[in-house]
Amino acid sequence: MTRVLLVDDHPVVREGLATILQAECDIDVVAEAGSIEEAVELIGSTTDVAVLDYRLPGMSGIDGCAHLISKAARVRVIVLTSFPNEGVMLRAFAAGARGFLAKDSPAHVLRSAVRSVAIGGTFIDPSLAGKLIADAIRGRKGPGPFGLSRTERHVLELLGSGQPNQAIARELDVSVPTVKTHVQHVLQKLGAKDRHEAVAIARREGLL
């Protein structure tokens, strides 16, 4: 039996994840937490896998991943994110994660991820793998279209999805002033007067 801890600050999300996993006879959701601090208190010596939201109050999912593993080394962590990209994936695995999924990954993918990391494997949502590899290759080749850096392309993607500076800062694990600097660079390189025009240009040029 694989024993799972769910860590997400939205009870409805935890309920959905628990419903997906509890339907399996070989998986048992033994605890749910809304923050890393609560997860550390709830994690037990028999917990096998922690399914962890990338965005959490108090401590980010990446920092939280490393902290959780430092407190319970045997636990294998799967990171969930609403905005999967190569940078987030690399930070997750560098922090000790064994799995990386989008929040909208199908139920069977979540179950496969739990089973795979529970026996010592590493798992990336197959539907993300091609995009993440392409992102990594583009990043190694240097600046992309309009001279955008990899971080600036990520910022542009988040602007395209309507994310405010605070949300972008959480996603990148940087300060809001740093985000403002990135946004300004994106506007300058695209020749846009504001973020709305930048998104319009990006869509016209096939960047989004």
Q: What is the pTM of this model?
A: 0.70
Answer yes or no: is 184 within a domain. Answer: yes
Residues 158 and 115 in one domain: no
Residues 122 and 187 in one domain: no
Domain end, chosen from 129, 157, 192, is at 129
Residues 182 and 82 in one domain: no
In whole angstroms, give the CA distance from residue 186 to residue 4: 41
26-40, 53-67, 130-144, 193-207, range with the lowest pLDDT? 130-144
Residues 119 and 46 in one domain: yes
> Looking at residue 184, what is its pLDDT?
93
Residues 194 and 153 in one domain: yes
Q: Model confidence at 42, in pLDDT bands (50, 70, 90)?
A: very high
Answer yes or no: is 134 within a domain. Answer: no
The CATH code of the domain that includes 152 is 1.10.10.10
Answer yes or no: is 137 within a domain. Answer: no
Answer yes or no: is 183 within a domain. Answer: yes
Q: Return the percentage of the chain with pLDDT > 70, whole number.
A: 92
Residues 92 and 158 in one domain: no
Residues 49 and 114 in one domain: yes
Domain residues for 24?
2-129
Answer yes or no: is 71 within a domain. Answer: yes
If one counts the domains in the chain, the total is 2
Answer yes or no: is 12 within a domain. Answer: yes
Residues 30 and 81 in one domain: yes
In whole angstroms, give the CA distance from residue 132 to residue 129: 5
Secondary structure string (H, E, C) spanning the chain: CEEEEEECCCHHHHHHHHHHHHCCCCEEEEEEECCHHHHHHHCCCCCCEEEEECCCCCCCHHHHHHHHHHHCCCCEEEEEECCCCHHHHHHHHHCCCCEEEECCCCHHHHHHHHHHHHCCCCEECHHHHHHHHHHHHHHHCCCCHHHCCHHHHHHHHHHHCCCCHHHHHHHHCCCHHHHHHHHHHHHHHHCCCCHHHHHHHHHHCCCC
Q: Return the percentage of the chain with pLDDT > 90, whole number.
A: 57
Answer yes or no: is 135 within a domain. Answer: no
Answer yes or no: is 136 within a domain. Answer: no
The CATH code of the domain that includes 18 is 3.40.50.2300
- What b-and-e string marks burial along 107-133, b requiring 16 or more CB atoms within 10 Å of the CB? eebbbbbbbbbbeeeebbbeebeeebe
Residues 13 and 71 in one domain: yes
Say if residue 77's pLDDT is above 60.
Answer: yes
Say if residue 187's pLDDT is above 60.
Answer: yes
Residues 114 and 154 in one domain: no
Residues 101 and 11 in one domain: yes
Instruction: Indicate the length of the chain as a whole number.
Output: 208
Say if residue 94's pLDDT is above 90.
Answer: no
Domain end, chosen from 91, 106, 129, is at 129
Comparison of pLDDT for 99 and 137, the residue scoring more: 99
Domain end, chosen from 106, 129, 152, is at 129
Residues 150 and 65 in one domain: no
End-to-end CA distance of the chain: 43
Name 80's bridge partners.
53, 101
